[in-house]
Amino acid sequence: MSSLPQPAPLVPVEADLNRLAEAAWIIDLDASRVIAASPAGRALWSGALRDGTTLDRAMPGMQDMMRLAGSGECGAGPGEERTLLLWAAQGLVRLRCRCRPLDRDGRKVLVVAAADASDAAASAAPDAATGDRARATLAHELRTPLSAIAALAEVMKDERLGPMGNTRYLGYASDIHDSARHALSVLVAMLEGGTGCQGAQEPAETDVHGTVSRCLSAMRELAGQASVRLQSELAPGRPRLAADRRSLMQILLNLLSNALKFTPQGGVVTVATRREPGGGLVLSVTDTGTGMHRDEIERLQAEDDGPGRAAAARGSGYGLPLVKALARESGARLEIASPPGQGTRVSIVFPRDRLIGAEPAPA
């Protein structure tokens, strides 16, 4: 990474943001977190970028800032404007702004919005009908290539044209097939369900540990690339739930994806199941990452409806709000524990009446 010359910051300390009239933020690129915000910055987009907000590293705007910081272009000119694409509760917004590094390596960046940023943000939320049509079009366009991927992966995993020759490739083919089929089922549900992104649930007898195994297998290569260890701690037996299989898989994949995003190299992500004394089942994903701020947890837990209305908690966009909505439709509840600096545990608690053929766990 190229080192940047020591810049002259536009504000000498973080507290001075309170004196700025513009919407502005100081962002720590390594922690993917808003360190501080000006009053206008806190108010923009209904408070989506407040002090302490964790940002999704996958956002195009974050990727742009990290690339510019590495190349030395972030401080190319204090008056030069750029457009960053960010995810807020309203959807994708385009923020015209100036970026400037605040330290020698450019890992802390001051972002000052253009004068008309508030107007741009206010008009960023798409019309509901237009958004529904766009989602339906996207689902329709993706259905054909996903069907082809699933069909070809099935030929490979069944070795219909001859032996694969490598057991790991055979496992990858099976993971590709399962992932493509899952994505296809979600897209079909979008087409059939209109505005709902998950469609109507169809409860059936579902092997919880089998679903955990498939999701871990699908995510293991991504975890390896991130140098994060995936592990499981499963309760004895093979608990079965009356649940929608697609929704359960979607819940797990979202939680695993989120955990991997916020766990540093050398960290651990654990999927666990345990029985409650009253007979329910707890399915949890725990990481050793940066953790969540209390205000982010409170905003998520305060939302009463689905992902379309939920705040972008933990910078995850629709991830955690979608998990909460899916859990609620499955008769379960979402719980979050995140002690400062000690990672995050997200639990889905299924009541006793959702378990099939299981006696209550001992008290």
pLDDT digit string, tens, across residues 230-288: 999 999 988 999 988 888 988 998 899 889 888 999 999 999 999 988 889 999 999 99
Q: Please tell me the least confidently modeled range out of 130-139, 254-263, 301-310.
A: 301-310
Give the highest mean pLDDT range of 91-105, 168-182, 186-200, 213-227.
213-227
Sort residue 56 into left (φ over 0), alpha (ψ -120 to 50) or beta. Answer: beta
> How far is residue 328 from each of residues 255, 256, 313, measured CA to CA in Å?
15, 19, 17
How many angstroms separate the CA atoms of 66 and 105, rounded? 11
Q: Please report which confidence band the pLDDT of residue 200 belongs to, taking 50, 70 and 90 as the band edges.
A: low
Reported as a single tens digit per residue, the pLDDT across 59-91 is 677 878 887 776 655 544 445 788 887 766 555
For residue 133 the two structure tokens come to: 């049509």
**Which has the higher per-residue pLDDT, 281 or 159?**
281
Residue 131: phi and psi, rounded to 5, are -65, -40
Strand-pair partners of 348: 283, 334
For residues 26-46, average pLDDT: 86
pLDDT of the residue at 123: 40
DSSP letter assigned to residue 124: T
Q: 14-122 maps to which CATH number?
A: 3.30.450.20
Locus of tokens 């966009």: 317
Q: Is the pLDDT of residue 204 over 70?
A: yes
How many angstroms separate the CA atoms of 268 and 316, rounded? 19
Residue type, 177: H
**Which has the higher per-residue pLDDT, 150 or 31?**
31
Q: For residue 35, what is the enclosing H or E element? A: strand 33-37
% of residues, the chain, pLDDT over 70: 70
Locus of tokens 């953790």: 291
pLDDT of the residue at 82: 84
Reported as a single tens digit per residue, the pLDDT across 309-336 is 334 444 444 578 888 888 998 899 999 9
Sort residue 229 into left (φ over 0), alpha (ψ -120 to 50) or beta. Answer: beta
Tell me the pairing of strands 268-275 and 229-233.
Answer: parallel
**Which has the higher per-residue pLDDT, 349 or 72?**
349
Q: Please report which confidence band the pLDDT of residue 133 belongs to, taking 50, 70 and 90 as the band edges.
A: low
Residues 69/73/79/84 CA torsion (nearest 10 deg): -60
How many angstroms separate the CA atoms of 210 and 207, rounded? 5
How many angstroms separate the CA atoms of 293 and 52, rounded? 7
Q: Please tell me the least confidently modeled range out of 9-13, 25-29, 122-126, 251-255.
A: 122-126
DSSP letter assigned to residue 285: E
- Dump the DSSP string for 129-167: HHHHHHHHHHHHHHHHHHHHHHHHHHHHHTTTTS--S-H
Q: For residue 290, what is the enclosing H or E element? A: none
**Which has the higher per-residue pLDDT, 264 or 12?**
264
Q: What is the mean pLDDT of the chain?
A: 76
% of residues, the chain, pLDDT over 90: 18
Q: Is the pLDDT of residue 105 over 50?
A: yes
Q: For residue 252, what is the enclosing H or E element? A: helix 245-261
pLDDT of the residue at 229: 94
Q: 216-363 maps to which CATH number?
A: 3.30.565.10
